[in-house]
Amino acid sequence: MKNEALLPIWIEAANAVKKIAVNAVIICDEPGDLRMKNQRGRPFCQVRIQRSHVGVYFLPIYYHPHLLLPEIKPALHGKTTLRFNQKNKSLVEFIAPQVNKILTVMDLY
């Protein structure tokens, strides 16, 4: 784990993903790193503590960028990376609605 101070943000983000994406297969679930794939074996999501942020990576957003919620866009860095840190940790509350929206295309990418 690169930054233990970000563990509370990681826990909140990882729990939000796991709570909604119940049909996703968990590949790795250890403190600081959660990786999931869909039922067909394609990567779905990763929640990982980096040096200065918690990165949330949703592969379906790469193929379906229109699914990105406007409320979570301030955390967007690049095409599919959402970065959360102490300054924008309030945006973590939008992860669950974002996962719900992504699940509509879970098997289409």
17 within some domain: yes
C-alpha angle 27-80-43 in degrees, rounded to nearest 5: 25
87 within some domain: yes
44 within some domain: yes
Residue 93 has what pLDDT? 95
Query: Model-level pTM?
Result: 0.92
What average pLDDT score do residues 23-45 get?
Answer: 96
91 within some domain: yes
109 within some domain: no
User: CA-to-CA distance for 18 and 69, rounded, in angstroms?
Assistant: 19
Residue 3 has what pLDDT? 94
Share of the chain above pLDDT 70, in %: 100
The enclosing domain of 17 has a CATH number of 3.90.1150
What average pLDDT score do residues 67-92 get?
Answer: 95
Distance between alpha carbon 36 and the CA centroid of its chain, in Å? 10
Please state the domain count of the chain. Answer: 1
98 within some domain: yes
Q: What are the Cα distances from residue 69, in Å, to 14, 21, 50, 61, 102?
A: 18, 17, 23, 10, 10
pLDDT band for 106, please (50, 70, 90 cuts).
Answer: confident
Range of the domain at 84: 4-104
